[in-house]
């Protein structure tokens, strides 16, 4: 099961804004935990908080091995010692053991010490698996790390972090992710990656993060140890990383280097500080270069930490607007290593698609170079291929089919024909019936393509014809076929929602479909924002008659069913069964334990994630058997 302390607030694919509740406050993810060296506080934790840090991370091993620090931490507590009242995570000394090769404390002792001084997130003493480990060494690290987790009992006052190891072996990363994710660990750091980060081996990191996220527990927060450079934040978050720690702000400052959203620059080679830098307007580059070493390091560290928080803020906003993928594409043109990472992401698009929402708030941006491999493009292309395979003849329309006077003629021809009408869209062709459906209508592209290469390849046995019409009487209704095609695209085959007797109401201003009714009862409305269907209870009843649970549905406990019947939303902890193929943001039926329909709403997550969450809202109910339909309000 997932963490009882973590809940999702907003999402964009695997990227998510969440809330992690600790004994010392709440962390909003994605979050950066700046590293605080207990021996050398370059920037004080209180100043970090004023810059935007909700939490910090420090080293329990360093504190324990120093008599002075240990005595102070045990006497007054970690938060008092560091003068920080927010969440604090402690590391166990694993990385120090990797660097220096010695460790005088055992696993149980390190965890007990971290808990004793009041750490909010304590880390077991895991085995650091280097990138150059052979398979046997990496496997031993996974096995021993999991064994050490088993030595530790859960605690009600602190989270237990179970690091995921496995070096560069995908199957070992998957194994470690499953072991740790479905154990009593509350918090999941991805370990053994600092050397890869230092060497800019971002394609390898994409592979590691994907295997960890895809096969692990998605209901628990995922932390990338050492991954705080702003140039990689967006990619990591896009793949599902929730938290980072960073000592880079201090490390680069000591080398007279500055962090920027797109990379790292030497102080001696820049002309001025950017407008967003806390140094801009206060210091010239020459003044900082000539400053005493201690002051120069502090000034550069402030710039670097601000750069990290600024990038994190941008990433959060991109998640909120649901256009993080577009931002990732922009970022990956700033460095060849990032571009290699993008190529690796494109290779796993098929897997990422399962976690993608039905539609997004932002338009769909299409760039010729990479967007054809993006998730929405793949989804509609696959549907179009299936759509045309069911027809003997396909009619290809020109790009000007929407022009005044032309569309009316096209619809007239359509209704006298039984063939598939396809429209060009960013290098492929899609059914005319999906013309207003996300992302067809909501695209911003770099140029329309009329190529029919792919469609000829998948349907060589079919006939391609121009849109010259054919003589005959009306054999079908365009708006009715449009509703049926949208339903098939949205819900899959076999859903019977709109019989021939369906009454369709259209907007007087736009001519677009607004509602579909049967026997004077509204079955569904067509959303103007994305062109998809919102079901009423009557429409949900028709869908229920077409499915075998739990397809397109969740089954809730009797404890929850009474509330859901009245229109209250469904919480994860009350879901007993669910469809693993649910699409995030899609219409979802809510059934009671006897599989009777009691409500309908939109799922907040995909079916691939559903079973991993235990906290928060699972389905936002908008119609219910005892509640008032939205259409009846006002």
Mean pLDDT, to the nearest integer, of 545-560?
97
Sheet holding 570-571, edge to edge: 570-571, 617-624, 597-603, 587-591, 553-556, 575-578
Give the residue numbers spanning the domain of 622: 547-634
What positions carry a catalytic annotation?
Answer: 91
What is each CA distance from 134 to 190, 524, 552, in whole angstroms? 19, 58, 44
Shared-domain flag, residues 471 and 562:
no
Give the C-alpha separation, 254 to 117, whole Å.
30
- The residue behind tokens 């000007």 is 400
DSSP β-bridge partners for residue 591: 555, 597
Query: What is the pLDDT at residue 35?
Result: 96
- The pLDDT tens digits of the residues spanning 319-361 come to 999 999 999 998 998 999 999 999 999 899 889 999 999 999 8
Residue 617 falls inside a structural domain: yes
- pLDDT exceeding 70 applies to what percent of the chain? 92
Is residue 267, in this structure, part of any structural domain at all?
no
DSSP β-bridge partners for residue 425: 428
> CA dihedral defined by 92, 146, 179, 127, rounded to 10 degrees?
60
Measure the CA–CA gap between 216 and 626, rounded to whole angstroms.
Answer: 38
Q: pLDDT-based confidence at 510, cuts 50/70/90?
A: confident
What is d(CA 305, CA 443) in angstroms, rounded to the nearest whole number? 36
Residue 389 falls inside a structural domain: yes
Structure tokens at 51: 């810059």
Q: How far apart are CA 372 and CA 378, in angstroms?
A: 7
Sign of CA dihedral 62, 65, 66, 67: positive
Q: Could you say which of 476, 494, 520 is where a domain stops?
A: 476
> CA 318, CA 432: separation in Å to the nearest integer?
31
Radius of gyration of the chain (CA): 28
Is 464 contained in some domain? yes
What is the reported pLDDT for 195?
Answer: 93
| Structure tokens that stand for 150 in this block | 């088993």
Closest CA to 205 of 251, 170, 179: 170
Residue 427 covered by a domain: yes
**Confidence (pTM):** 0.92
**Burial class of 20 by CB neighbour count within 10 A (0 to 12, 13 to 18, 19+):** buried
Residues 372 and 471 in one domain: yes
**Tokens representing residue 381 in the block:** 């292309």
Cβ atoms of 361 and 17 closer than 8 Å: no
* Cα 164 to Cα 166: distance, rounded to the nearest angstrom: 7
The confidence score (pLDDT) of residue 461 equals: 39
**609-626 pLDDT tens trace:** 999 999 999 999 999 999
533 falls in which pLDDT band (50, 70, 90)? very high
Q: Which residue has the tokens 């054999």?
A: 475
β-sheet bridge partners, residue 246 = 34
Report the relative pairing of strands 243-246 and 393-396 from DSSP bridges. Answer: unpaired
- Choosing from 448, 476, 504, the residue where a domain stops is 476
pLDDT at 447: 56
For β-strands 243-246 and 31-36, DSSP reports them as: parallel
CA–CA gap between residue 32 and residue 5 (Å, rounded) = 18
Higher-confidence residue: 529 or 471?
529
Flag whether 215 is in a domain. Answer: no
Contact of 470 with 412, CB cutoff 8 Å = no
Buried b (16+ CB within 10 A) or exposed e, 153-183: eeeeebbbbbbbbbbbbeebbbbbbebbbeb
Report helix, strand or coil for 396. Answer: strand
Total domain count, the chain: 2
Q: What pLDDT score was predicted for residue 446?
A: 59
Domain CATH code at residue 555: 2.30.130.10
Residue 121 forms beta bridges with which residues? Answer: 89, 159
DSSP for residue 40: B
Check: CB of residue 220 under 8 Å from CB of residue 186. yes
Residue 373 lies in a domain: yes
Report whether 180 contacts 162 (CB < 8 A).
Answer: yes
- CA separation for the pair 176, 193 (Å, rounded): 14
User: Quick check: 367 pLDDT over 80?
Assistant: no
Residue 74 domain-assigned? no
Q: Give the pLDDT band (50/70/90) at residue 628.
A: low
Q: Is the pLDDT of residue 633 over 50?
A: no
- Mark whether 472 and 551 lie in a shared domain: no
Average pLDDT over residues 482-488: 97
pLDDT, tens digit, for every residue of 34-81? Answer: 999 988 889 999 999 999 999 999 999 999 999 999 999 999 999 999
H helix intervals, 118-240:
135-150, 170-181, 194-198, 202-215, 230-238
Provide the terminal-to-terminal Cα distance of the chain, rounded to the nearest Å. 41
Which of 430, 452, 476 is at the close of a domain?
A: 476
Give the C-alpha separation, 549 to 553, whole Å. 7
* Cβ neighbours, 10 Å, residue 589: 25
Residue pair 600/593 in contact (Cβ under 8 Å)? The answer is: no
- Per-residue confidence (pLDDT) for residue 372, from 0 to 100: 52
Based on the domain organization, do 449 and 552 belong to the same domain? no
Q: Give CA–CA dist 527/609, Å, rounded.
A: 26
Q: Computed from CA positions of residues 325, 326, 330, 333, in that sequence, does the dihedral angle turn out positive or negative?
A: positive
CA angle 571, 577, 583 (to 5 degrees): 75
Is pLDDT at 375 greater than 90 in this prediction?
no
DSSP 80-130: HHHT--S-EEEE-SHHHHHHH----S-HHHHHHHHHHTT-SEEE-------
Same domain for 470 and 374 = yes
The sign of the dihedral angle between the CA atoms of 320, 325, 328, 333 is negative
- Rounded to 5 degrees, φ, ψ at 288 are -70, -40
Query: Tell me: the pLDDT tens digits for 19-34?
Result: 999 999 999 999 999 9
pLDDT at 427 over 90: no
The pair of three-digit structure tokens given for residue 99, joined into one six-digit string: 């660097």
Q: Please check whether residue 478 is in contact with residue 436, taking contact to mean a CB–CB distance below 8 angstroms.
A: no
The alpha-helical segments, DSSP class H, found in 403-477 are 406-415, 453-458
The CA distances from residue 537 to 203, 355, 517, 574, 621, in Å, are: 47, 27, 12, 21, 11
Q: What is the pLDDT of residues 202-260, one digit of tens each?
A: 999 999 999 999 999 999 999 999 988 999 999 999 999 999 998 999 999 999 999 99
Q: Which two tokens stand for residue 533?
A: 């269907």
């Amino acid at each position: 099961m997932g963490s009882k302390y973590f809940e999702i607030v907003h999402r964009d694919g695997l990227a998510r804004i969440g809330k992690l509740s600790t004994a010392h406050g709440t962390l909003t993810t994605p979050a950066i935990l700046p590293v605080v060296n207990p021996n050398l506080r370059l920037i004080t934790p209180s100043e970090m908080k004023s810059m935007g840090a909700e939490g910090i991370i420090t080293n329990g091993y360093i504190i324990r091995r120093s008599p002075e620090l240990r005595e102070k931490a045990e006497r007054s507590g970690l938060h008092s010692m560091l003068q920080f009242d927010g969440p604090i995570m402690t590391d166990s000394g694993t990385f120090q053991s990797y660097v220096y090769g010695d460790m005088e404390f055992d696993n149980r002792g390190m965890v007990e010490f971290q808990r004793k001084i009041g750490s909010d997130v304590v880390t077991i003493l895991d085995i650091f698996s280097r990138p150059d480990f052979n398979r046997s060494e990496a496997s031993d690290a996974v096995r021993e790390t999991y064994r050490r987790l088993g030595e530790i009992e859960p605690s009600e006052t602190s989270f237990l972090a179970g690091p995921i190891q496995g070096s560069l072996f995908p199957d070992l990363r998957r194994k470690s992710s499953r072991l740790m994710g479905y154990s009593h660990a509350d918090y999941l750091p991805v370990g053994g990656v600092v050397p890869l980060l230092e060497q800019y081996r971002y394609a390898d990191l994409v592979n590691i993060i994907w295997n960890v996220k895809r096969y692990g527990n998605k209901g628990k927060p995922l932390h990338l140890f050492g991954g705080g450079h702003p140039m990689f934040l967006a990619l990591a978050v896009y793949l599902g990383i929730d938290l980072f720690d960073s000592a880079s702000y201090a490390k680069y400052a000591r080398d007279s280097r500055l962090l920027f959203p797109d990379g790292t620059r030497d102080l001696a080679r820049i002309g001025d500080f950017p407008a967003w830098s806390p140094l801009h307007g206060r210091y010239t580059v020459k003044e900082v270069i000539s400053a005493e070493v201690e002051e120069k390091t502090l000034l550069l560290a402030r710039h670097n930490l601000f750069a990290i928080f600024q990038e994190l803020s941008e990433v959060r906003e991109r998640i909120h607007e649901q256009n993080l993928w577009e931002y990732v594409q922009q970022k990956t043109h700033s460095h060849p290593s990032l571009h290699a990472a993008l190529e690796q992401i494109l290779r796993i698009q098929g897997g990422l698609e399962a976690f993608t929402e039905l539609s997004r708030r932002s338009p769909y941006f299409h760039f010729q170079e990479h967007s054809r491999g993006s998730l929405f493009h793949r989804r509609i292309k696959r549907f179009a291929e299936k759509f045309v395979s069911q027809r003997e003849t396909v009619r290809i329309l020109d790009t000007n089919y929407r022009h005044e006077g032309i569309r009316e003629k096209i619809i007239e021809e359509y209704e006298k024909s039984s063939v598939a009408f396809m429209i060009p869209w960013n290098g492929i062709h899609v059914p005319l019936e999906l013309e207003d459906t996300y992302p067809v209508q909501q695209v911003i592209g770099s140029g329309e393509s009329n190529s029919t290469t792919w469609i000829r390849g998948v349907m060589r046995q079919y006939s391609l014809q121009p849109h010259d019409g054919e003589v005959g009487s009306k054999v079908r209704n365009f708006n009715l076929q449009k509703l049926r095609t949208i339903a098939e695209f949205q819900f899959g085959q076999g859903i019977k929602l709109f019989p021939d007797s369906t009454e369709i109401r259209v907007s007087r201003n736009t001519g677009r479909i607004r509602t579909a009714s049967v026997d004077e009862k509204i079955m569904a409305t067509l959303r103007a924002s994305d062109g998809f269907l919102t079901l009423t209870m009557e429409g949900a009843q028709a869908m229920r008659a077409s499915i075998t649970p739990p397809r397109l549905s969740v089954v809730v406990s009797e404890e929850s069913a009474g509330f859901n019947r009245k229109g209250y939303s469904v919480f994860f902890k009350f879901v007993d069964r669910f469809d693993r193929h649910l699409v995030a943001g899609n219409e979802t039926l809510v059934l009671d334990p006897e599989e009777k329909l009691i409500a309908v709403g939109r799922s907040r997550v995909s079916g691939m994630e559903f079973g991993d969450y235990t906290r928060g809202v699972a389905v936002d109910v908008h119609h219910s058997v005892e509640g008032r339909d939205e259409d009846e309000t006002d």
